[in-house]
Amino acid sequence: MPEQSCPECGAVLFFDSQTKRYACKGCGVYLTKDELVNIRDKLHKETDESRKKRAQHSEYLEWWLSSKK
């Protein structure tokens, strides 16, 4: 299994095989794998910079095309 990094602070998470949870020694989060995936999805949606850039690019393209008329 690859190393997981903390969704909160980015530190390496330690897997606790007894409780099947990931623990962060940086900020103290303690998450199951499902919770980790859910948080990652949420953070990814909130900070999707590439999607924002694409939207700006298409706005620019529309402006450029309309100014050529």
Examine residue 12 and tell whether it contacts Zn ion (CB under 5 A): no
Q: Which is nearer to Zn ion, 26 or 55 (CB)?
A: 26
Q: Alpha-carbon distance 2 to 40, whole Å?
A: 15
Exactly one of 14, 19, 27, 52 binds Zn ion (CB under 5 A); that residue is 27
Q: Alpha-carbon distance 21 to 32, whole Å?
A: 4
What are the residues whose beta carbons fall under 8 Å from the beta carbon of 48, sequence distance 6 or more? none
Examine residue 9 and tell whether it contacts Zn ion (CB under 5 A): yes
Contact positions vs Zn ion (CB under 5 A): 6, 8-9, 11, 24, 26-27
